[in-house]
Amino acid sequence: MKVLDLQCRQGHVFEGWFGSEDDFQGQKQRGLVQCPLCGDDHIEKRLSAPRLNLGARAPAAAAALAQPIATEGSQGVTPSETVALPPALQAAWLALARKVVANTEDVGERFAQEARRMHHGEVQERAIRGQATPDEAVQLLEEGIAVMPLPLPAAAKETLQ
């Protein structure tokens, strides 16, 4: 089993488990490897070292290793590192997205129509999600119907294997 550190174009870092390097490459070529946060399928492997347990390390030393090193005349941080969310925040976002999916009805492209029907009392109010064009969203807001864009990653909509 190969455990790879992966990263998408938006700087989201995640872990992938594959049977072999060929398995990873095959899945990547078929577009099956996607970022669990944003659904991006442009995935690159990050440098990673095997985990070696060489004894306990002092907490301060371990924290110092995790910090970017700045040298004179450099920022010490690449643009992708400044955008990347900490793993705990990524996990919290994915958990929230899954909770939204579990507790709402997906009405797809009928979102604007269903929101209006609920607003006008034609159907019972319920928690819905779906797709609306930017123009539809603006029209809903102008009508006094509260909407909020919430990009849900594909990983939130299905069980990870």
Give the up-direction half-sphere exposure of residue 48: CA atoms within 13 A in the CB hemisphere.
Answer: 15
Confirm whether 57 is domain-assigned: no
Whole-Å CA distances, 56 to 48, 52, 59, 161: 20, 11, 9, 33
Q: Identity (one letter) of the amino acid at 1? A: M
Confirm whether 60 is domain-assigned: no
Q: Higher pLDDT residue, 14 or 65? A: 14
Q: How many structural domains compose the chain?
A: 2
Domain that holds residue 108: 91-147
Confirm whether 1 is domain-assigned: yes
Share of the chain above pLDDT 70, in %: 71
Residue 124 has pLDDT above 60, yes or no: yes
Q: How far apart are CA 35 and CA 12, in angstroms?
A: 7
Whole-Å CA distances, 59 to 48, 63, 68, 89, 137: 21, 6, 16, 21, 49
Which pTM value belongs to this model? 0.50
Confirm whether 69 is domain-assigned: no
DSSP 158: S
Confirm whether 29 is domain-assigned: yes
Confirm whether 110 is domain-assigned: yes
Confirm whether 65 is domain-assigned: no
For Cα atoms 49, 94, 116, give the angle at the middle one, nearest 5 degrees. Answer: 155
